[in-house]
Amino acid sequence: MFRGLRHRGRTLAIVALALGLAGQAGSAAVAAPKAAIVVDAETGKILYSDQADASRHPASLTKMMTLYMLFTSINSGRMSSRTQIAMSPHCAAQPPTKLGLKPGQTIRARDAILALVTKSANDVACAVGEHISGTESAFAQAMTAKARQLGMTRTVFRNASGLPDPAQVTTARDMAILGKALQDDFPRSFKYFDTKSFRYDGKTYTNHNKLLGRVDGVDGIKTGYTRASGFNLVCSANRGGRELIAVVLGGNTGRARDQRMTELLEEYLPPERKRWRLFRRR
């Protein structure tokens, strides 16, 4: 799970993060007080925890698992970054946010990745699920099975996008596990999460993660929002030799969520490096 730990060794870090969990997800979460966790990505040590095991709705954080499944298909050779993914009527009918592709149109896998990372496109997430598993419901079952393998014992997925479903639940701890799994299992693909903007079909879409480029060291990964979930954010940050995965769920506003995340990162990261300007004497 952590840099330098692979295969069986890596699972020890997952266990460290997942220790103390009991029971399985199933009850619907309610939108409600914030939940948060900060994890040292190297050691798995929990640096901060507030309702980290409380059931919450993931909203578009769900797309982190959709991307995990897509990266897996590409790495295994079943797909490539140039694979064309078709848009079905079902997926085209998903509500915004979306790219607005018509039924029968296709999108390259690479563009699909960027659309999920930046625009958080619901139609594209659905199409990815159908391409990989045949139906979105089958894909959601595969997502949940993968979550269990990763140690996410309190997460259930019901669709590929995170659109509202009372049975689609997670926890801050489980989202931290998923964020670190993406980082460790797909180090090259993880760099997509640092994409600040994406241009497609003549339009430019900016990343919803406003901390990119604003908080020193932040290099991903995903935001989410529904009325039931509140404002969610998973962040990866690397500064001064310390790597963190931090999660905030249930913010009242995007600004409040971002402020809380910034506070947590600044508390547990080394001080920001000062940038000195060199002036030429005349």
Q: Which residues are annotated as a binding site for substrate?
A: 222
The label of the residue with tokens 């993931």 reads: 58
Could you tell me the CA-to-CA distances from 266 to 244, 253, 263 in Å, in that order? 11, 20, 5
Report the alpha-carbon distance of residue 206 to residue 56 in Å, rounded.
26
Contacts of 258 (CB under 8 A, 6+ apart): 210, 211, 233, 251
Q: Residue 174: which of 12, 56, 78 has the closest Cα?
A: 56
Active site residue 60: yes
Binding residues: 222
Query: Among 34, 55, 63, 161, which one carries the catalytic annotation?
Result: 63
Q: Kind of pairing, strands 106-108 and 203-206?
A: unpaired
Q: Could you give the C-alpha distances from 224 to 2, 57, 186, 269, in angstroms and in order?
A: 25, 10, 21, 24
Active-site pick, 55, 73, 120, 133: 120
Q: List all residues 6 or more positions away from 22 whose beta carbon is below 8 Å from its beta carbon.
A: none
Other Cβ atoms less than 10 A from the Cβ of 21: the count is 16
Catalytic residue among 34, 55, 60, 146: 60
What's the token pair of residue 273?
Answer: 């490096």
Q: Tell me how far apart the alpha carbons of residues 111 and 99 are, in angstroms, rounded to a whole number.
A: 11
* Residue 120 designated active-site: yes
Taking the C-alpha atoms of residue 40 and residue 46, their distance in angstroms, rounded to an integer, is 7
Catalytic annotation, residues:
60, 63, 120
